[in-house]
C-alpha cells in the first residue's frame, strides 16, 4: 500500500466509536470480582489461598487501579502523542489528510479511554473506600520507546515511535479481549473492556496501514537501522519486571505474618516470564510485523532471530 491508496475509516468511526455510541457505565455493587483472577495470579498461589484469602478483594482492587492507571499513561502519554503529531502534520513523515483526520479520531478515542479509566478509578474508590497505593510512573512501553529511540539515528525517532505504537496497539487488542469474556467479573468492568476492545480493532488496522505505507517508502539503510532497534524495544516492552515490582509492593501492604509475607514474596520472585518465542504476546506482534510488510525485510528477520518460530528463522 502507498499513501495514495489510503482509505479513511471515518464513516466507521462515526457509526461505531464508543465515544459516539456508548452510555456511561456504572460500577455495580454486587458480589462479582472487580478484576479477573487470571490477570493477578498472586491470589491463586497456594500460599495466598491457604493463609490470606481474606485479602483477595484488596489485591484485586489494587490490581484494577494499576490496570486503569496504566491505561491512562498508555493513552495520554504515548498513543495520543504520536497520533496527535500525525494529525497536526508535525510528524517527520508526511501523511495524506485522510490519515491525519483518522489520526485525530484516534486521539479522541484514546483520550476518551483515559477518561473512562479515571471514571472507573473514581467509582471504585467511592464504592470500596480503598485508596490506590502509590502507582509507578512508567509502563513497559514508556521505557521501551525511549530505549529503542536512543539506538536509532535522530531522523528516525518518529519512525521508531510509529512502529512502537503500532506494535503496542496490535498487542493490547488481544490482551484486552481475555478480560471481556470472564463471567466472574462485574458486568460494567467487562463492558469497559469490550468497549475499549471495539475501538482498538479499528486502531490496530490504522497503525498497521501507516507502518505499511512508511515501510514501503523507507530507504534500505533506514529499514536496517530500525531493525537493529527492534530487539531492545521488545526486551523492554515484554518484560515482567514492572508487574513483579508492583506485586512485591502490594504484598508489603497486606496485614499478614512475616513468614507468609516471605513466602508470597518468594512466589512472586519465582514467577518469571522469560522473553522467548513462547511469550504470549509475541504471536500478535509477529502477526503485525508480517501484515505491515516489516517482517519481509531480511535485516528484520535477522534481528528477531531469537523470537521467530523455527521455520521462519534465518540460517
* CA nearest to 50, candidates 264, 258, 254, 244: 264
Size of the site for Fe ion (CB under 5 A): 5
Cβ burial, residue 195 (10 Å; 0-12/13-18/19+)? buried
The 69-98 contact track toward Fe ion, x by CB under 5 A, reads ------------------------------
Determine, following the binding rule CB under 5 A, whether residue 202 of this chain makes contact with Fe ion. Answer: no
The H-assigned helical ranges of 129-156 are 140-151
Cα 32 to Cα 37, 61, 188, distances in angstroms: 11, 12, 10
Q: What is the smallest separation between the CB atom of 113 and Fe ion, expressed in angstroms?
A: 4
User: Which residue number places its CB atom closest to Fe ion?
Assistant: 203
> CB–CB of 148/226 below 8 Å?
no
Q: What is the smallest separation between the CB atom of 205 and Fe ion, expressed in angstroms?
A: 11
Residue with Cβ nearer Fe ion (57 or 119): 119
Cell numbers standing for residue 170: 496490535
Residue with Cβ nearer Fe ion (70 or 169): 169
> CB–CB of 53/208 below 8 Å?
no
**∠ CA 158-275-165 to the nearest 5 degrees?**
20
> Using the rule CB under 5 A, which residue among 66, 113, 223, 236 binds Fe ion?
113
> Using the rule CB under 5 A, which residue among 66, 186, 203, 223 binds Fe ion?
203
Q: What is the smallest separation between the CB atom of 29 and Fe ion, expressed in angstroms?
A: 27
Residue with Cβ nearer Fe ion (102 or 200): 200
Q: What is the smallest separation between the CB atom of 3 and Fe ion, expressed in angstroms?
A: 22
Residue with Cβ nearer Fe ion (182 or 199): 199
Residue with Cβ nearer Fe ion (169 or 247): 169
Residue with Cβ nearer Fe ion (75 or 158): 75
* CA nearest to 286, candidates 258, 308, 303: 308
Q: What is the smallest separation between the CB atom of 202 and Fe ion, expressed in angstroms?
A: 8
Which of the stretches 5-13, 41-49, 202-210, 297-305 binds Fe ion when contact is defined by CB under 5 A? 202-210
* CA nearest to 47, candidates 244, 271, 246, 245: 271
Residue with Cβ nearer Fe ion (6 or 206): 206
CA distance 295 to 274: 23
Site for Fe ion in 143-182 (CB under 5 A): 169
Which of the stretches 26-34, 203-211, 222-230, 252-260 binds Fe ion when contact is defined by CB under 5 A? 203-211
DSSP, collapsed to helix, strand or coil, labels residue 33 as strand
Cβ burial, residue 126 (10 Å; 0-12/13-18/19+)? exposed
Residue with Cβ nearer Fe ion (51 or 203): 203
Which of the stretches 6-14, 107-115, 174-182, 235-243 binds Fe ion when contact is defined by CB under 5 A? 107-115
CA distance 239 to 271: 12
Q: What is the smallest separation between the CB atom of 122 and Fe ion, expressed in angstroms?
A: 19
Cell numbers standing for residue 248: 512485591
**Residue ranges binding Fe ion (CB under 5 A):** 110, 113, 169, 200, 203
Amino acid at each position: 500500500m502507498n499513501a495514495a491508496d489510503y482509505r479513511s475509516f471515518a464513516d466507521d468511526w462515526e457509526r461505531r466509536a464508543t465515544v459516539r455510541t456508548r452510555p456511561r457505565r456504572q460500577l455495580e455493587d454486587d458480589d462479582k470480582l472487580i478484576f479477573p483472577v487470571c490477570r493477578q495470579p498472586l491470589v491463586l498461589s497456594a500460599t495466598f489461598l491457604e493463609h490470606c484469602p481474606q485479602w483477595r478483594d484488596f489485591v484485586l482492587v489494587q490490581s484494577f487501579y494499576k490496570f486503569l492507571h496504566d491505561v491512562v499513561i498508555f493513552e495520554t502519554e504515548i498513543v495520543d502523542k504520536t497520533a496527535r503529531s500525525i494529525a497536526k502534520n508535525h510528524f517527520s513523515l508526511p501523511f495524506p489528510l485522510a490519515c491525519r483526520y483518522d489520526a485525530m479520531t484516534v486521539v479522541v478515542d484514546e483520550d476518551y479511554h483515559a477518561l473512562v479509566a479515571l471514571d472507573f478509578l473514581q467509582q471504585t474508590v467511592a464504592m470500596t473506600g480503598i485508596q490506590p497505593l502509590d502507582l509507578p510512573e512508567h509502563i513497559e512501553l514508556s521505557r521501551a520507546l525511549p530505549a529503542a529511540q536512543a539506538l536509532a539515528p535522530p531522523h528516525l525517532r518518529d519512525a521508531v515511535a510509529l512502529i512502537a505504537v503500532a506494535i503496542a496497539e496490535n498487542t493490547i487488542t488481544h490482551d484486552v479481549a481475555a478480560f471481556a469474556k470472564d463471567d466472574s467479573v462485574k458486568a460494567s468492568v467487562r463492558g469497559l473492556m469490550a468497549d475499549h476492545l471495539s475501538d482498538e480493532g479499528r486502531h490496530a488496522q490504522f497503525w498497521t496501514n501507516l507502518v505499511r505505507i512508511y515501510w514501503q517508502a523507507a530507504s534500505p539503510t533506514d529499514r536496517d537501522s530500525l531493525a537493529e532497534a527492534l530487539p531492545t524495544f521488545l526486551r523492554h516492552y515484554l518484560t515482567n519486571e514492572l508487574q513483579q515490582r508492583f506485586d512485591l509492593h502490594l504484598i508489603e501492604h497486606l496485614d499478614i505474618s512475616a513468614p507468609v509475607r516471605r513466602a508470597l514474596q518468594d512466589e512472586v520472585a519465582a514467577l518469571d516470564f522469560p522473553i522467548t518465542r513462547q511469550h504470549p504476546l509475541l504471536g500478535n506482534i509477529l502477526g503485525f510485523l508480517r501484515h505491515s510488510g516489516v517482517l519481509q525485510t531480511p535485516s528484520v528477520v535477522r534481528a528477531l532471530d531469537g523470537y521467530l518460530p523455527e521455520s521462519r528463522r534465518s540460517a
